[in-house]
Amino acid sequence: MTNPAPASASALLRSIDPASGALVWEGEVADAAAVGQAVAAARGAFPAWAALAQDARTALVRGFAGVLQARSGMLAETISRETGKPLWEARGEVASMIGKVELSIAGQAARAGEQHTAAPFGAAVLRHRPQGVVAVFGPYNFPGHLPNGHIVPALLAGNAVVFKPSELTPATGAAMAGAWAAAGLPEGVLQLVQGGPATGAALADADIDALLFTGSAATGAVLRQQCAQRPRVLLALELGGNNPLVAWDGDVAETAALVVQSAYLTSGQRCSCARRLIVPDNRFGTELIEAVADLAASLRIGAWQETPEPFMGPLVSAAAASRAEAQVAQLVSLGARPTRPLARPQGRSAAFLTPALLDVTGLAVPDEEIFAPVLQWRRVGDFEAALEAANNSRFGLAAALVSEDEALWQRFAREVRCGVVNRNRPTTGASGAMPFGGLGESGNHRPSAFYAADYCAQPVASFEAPTAAGHRAALAGMVRA
């Protein structure tokens, strides 16, 4: 069973449908005392859960997948209402959550299982033990899928979890906790704490053994500082990106569609969205920019439940839209030339924005992630300059090359500094059967997805013999009579 933490009675948290302004969820905020109680409850539940046989934990996690399947329609609607993303995309997110279970079971077996190697004295044994109490911080853009990608492998490994959803998507977090309760998770093993930055700060400061965070690079930097003097707390950070997409040759129409899917999917609110488009200074580059601008102008924008289904919905809030507008205004003040401006569509809430395309050729612009449907593009003279531009970032999450030239691809794959590198596919394409994570300000060398098992369990190496025989003989001739 999962338990929401006791909360402060003085504060309420609300989530709002960004498309309509309607109230989606309301509940109490967990203050520092409530966070401490949640961590203590998880600590108390941990030993019995960790001692449970792996098969039993696996069966319960599979039961959770079954609950998700039974509740998939309700959960998808909750995600759409809180984030604004179209219902087709929310359904895909729920499907990814269900699929994550079997992928995590496979990852646990492959990367955190048990190995026995025969030795003259007996055996060398590799085991993995859980970290203990694991704090999971969820983001708002994938409020189900991304924290699920931490929680499932953490529970499989035998950890207890304290889960803090984004303060913008508490209803999705509550629905996930409810699904674990329905699956029969034992009392205390998963604790839910709702709240904003103060709740998160209290959880990061609490008696935890690991902190698994998905979110912005700025918050990731704060968490690194907060945990700097506590080396025993494992920190796994999945942060943002200022991701490059080099479109060098090929079919213009197909490439334009790939660019649009890379830059504007989820209204640009994916950490793997393309933010920087790099094109050659030739006819292909010119025609591609025109095609991207035309296709972006034709994208259907609408609320999550509208028909026909929109390609993209609003940003998560009007405040997020205003932040994006301020960032674009700064770029324009530095000389960026709008090929397509960032605008608020008429008749829509203040959270909606149209896709923007900005020419920054020849300009030095801030190396910042704009978490919105904003794509900056620049022309370069040769592929050397394209690689230099792609790597000119403190981030290193995702990159892609569009080219039919095998030699260019081999060089790009070898030299671009990112954790996810695609060819002739959108930057947003990633597989749960492979690692996912980045370099630099995009992460701290602990990739998630299939490799989440690595940070959810600690390897323990053992030399084991049935008896303490042979040690005295090893000292023969080296001990005084």
Query: CA 229, CA 246: separation in Å to the nearest integer?
Result: 40
Question: What does DSSP assign to residue 244?
Answer: E
Query: CA 389, CA 378: separation in Å to the nearest integer?
Result: 9
Query: CA 248, CA 278: separation in Å to the nearest integer?
Result: 8
Residue with tokens 């003085």: 10
Tell me the torsion sign for CA atoms 432, 434, 440, 443: positive
How many CB atoms lie under 10 A from the CB of residue 250? Answer: 16
User: Distances from the Cα of 37 to the Cαs of 7, 34, 51, 368, in angstroms?
Assistant: 10, 5, 23, 38
Tell me the torsion sign for CA atoms 282, 287, 290, 296: negative
Answer left, alpha or beta for residue 380, where phi above 0 means left and psi between -120 and 50 means alpha: beta
- Nearest CA-CA partner of 12 in 196, 137, 143: 196
Beta-carbon contacts of 274 under 8 Å, excluding residues fewer than 6 positions away, are 243, 244, 245, 259, 262, 263, 375, 398, 400, 426, 427, 428
Alpha-helical runs (H) found in 9-126: 32-51, 54-70, 72-83, 87-111
Gyration radius from the chain CA atoms: 25
- Out of 271, 273, 418, 456, the active site residue is 271
Question: What does DSSP assign to residue 60?
Answer: H
238 is catalytic: yes
Query: CA 152, CA 295: separation in Å to the nearest integer?
Result: 38
Amino acid at 225: Q
The three-state secondary structure class of 28 is strand
Residue with tokens 């950490």: 271
Crossing angle of helices 406-415/383-390, nearest 10°?
Answer: 30
3-state secondary structure 269-330: CCCCCEEEEEEECCHHHHHHHHHHHHHHHHCCECCCCCCCCCCECCCCCHHHHHHHHHHHHH
- Out of 28, 82, 238, 441, the active site residue is 238
- Nearest CA-CA partner of 207 in 418, 43, 332: 43
28 is catalytic: no
Just list the catalytic residues.
238, 271
